Structure 1
């Protein structure tokens, strides 16, 4: 199956959709800078390669990941945390590219959060069949800052729930170029990604890349 680069005429044009109190979906927001973002991702991965981390419970994550910025999110047998050093390379994580910083700031403003200056960006690689179970982003010290999540590559079904894991999540189809911003009343909402359907994206092939910007402290 081939995924059209623009997916649909409607989704090719940037638009703003409020999906919850404090949460917005920006359709096609990053399409004008897609080439710069993909080039930056490749440079980050060349320095700090993707890896599938292991949770404290001993399970290997299906999503492969790396980081850039002042700190990176990691998980191992000791727990979840942010660390300035990539444990695989023993060196600091790659610096956050200026195009990333500018994107995160502009997207956050569209969500109603001014002055967002992320110090961490999680770079996740999804391949067909991979998923991310419902969870809260709560390893950060600063909950006043929003989360900015960017979708590149294959479409995905984003699950966005409430403050309790048992709350039934709403489902949103995210395509290449879409951005979700959530904070304020929705900052600790449970969210995840359903198993990724197979496909072929014109720029990234059989995968989805997700950039998640956070302020950790």
Structure 2
């Protein structure tokens, strides 16, 4: 029998964390929430990326994001030298963004409900692919034109250290370990908290290889 790596063995260990962790009044971690649907979500990502491939976008300051991204739903988030925006058309293909899969929408709504946000209606989904070393700097999700609905984030594959900050960029951050299948939901008084992701450590996941996938849902008003 082929010897398993430490990462693969850890994947097989039972998750003893509670299924509901209140981080702040409007922020909840749901460990393992989407784990049973991970395979279906990976197939959905494959289908989406056949229509809208992952790409590393430029930043307003002229750099390049270390995270590869694509989108699905009514709108997609784009970054360029001109700034950040949501568009109905994928600028890389000239086509509308792929339709949001039912499994995505159902998981997003269920996670939001479990976190205390009963009326979440996501119309936008950002899909991020992190390779080892990729990171996400501290930022607020404020391009949506609406902060009345929460953000729902699903993690698959390699682990990540999520940085949970305050309402100011200079506020201290709290590191939160995100594992395969975890859901993170924030809204209400915590909707505009700064957050980010530390550089992903090298590893190999039994399902996603050397990649962490993050699926993030929002409600956007154009």
- Tell me how far 1:6 sits from its aligned partner: 3.2
> What TM-score do the two structures reach when normalised by structure 1?
0.96
Match of 2:168 among 164, 167, 172: 164
Match of 1:151 among 150, 155, 158: 155
- The equivalent residue for 1:201 is 205
Secondary structure at the aligned position of 2:11 is classed as coil
Distance in 2 (CA, whole Å) between partners of 1:60 and 1:14 is 38
Residue 9, structure 1, aligned to residue 14, structure 2: yes
Q: Which runs of 5+ in 2 are unaligned?
A: none
Residue 136, structure 1, aligned to residue 136, structure 2: no
> What TM-score do the two structures reach when normalised by structure 2?
0.94
Distance in 2 (CA, whole Å) between partners of 1:166 and 1:30 is 32
Written as runs of structure 1 = structure 2, the 5 A alignment for 1:12-51 is: 15-51=19-55
Residue 92, structure 1, aligned to residue 112, structure 2: no
**Conserved? CA contact 1:137–1:188, under 8 Å:** yes
Secondary structure at the aligned position of 1:151 is classed as strand
**Conserved? CA contact 1:2–1:200, under 8 Å:** no
**Conserved? CA contact 1:2–1:201, under 8 Å:** no
Q: Which runs of 5+ in 1 are unaligned?
A: none
**Conserved? CA contact 1:14–1:29, under 8 Å:** no
- Tell me how far 1:93 sits from its aligned partner: 0.5
Residue by residue, what CA displacement relative to the aligned partner does 1:108-153 show, whole Å, maximum 9, x if unpaired?
0011101211010000000000100100000011100000000000
Secondary structure at the aligned position of 1:173 is classed as strand
**Conserved? CA contact 1:153–1:208, under 8 Å:** yes
What is the root-mean-square deviation of aligned Cα atoms in Å? 1.2
Shift of the 96–202 alpha-carbon distance from structure 1 to 2, 3 Å rule, reads same
Residue by residue, what CA displacement relative to the aligned partner does 1:8-28 show, whole Å, maximum 9, x if unpaired?
4235x7700001120000000
**Conserved? CA contact 2:153–2:183, under 8 Å:** yes
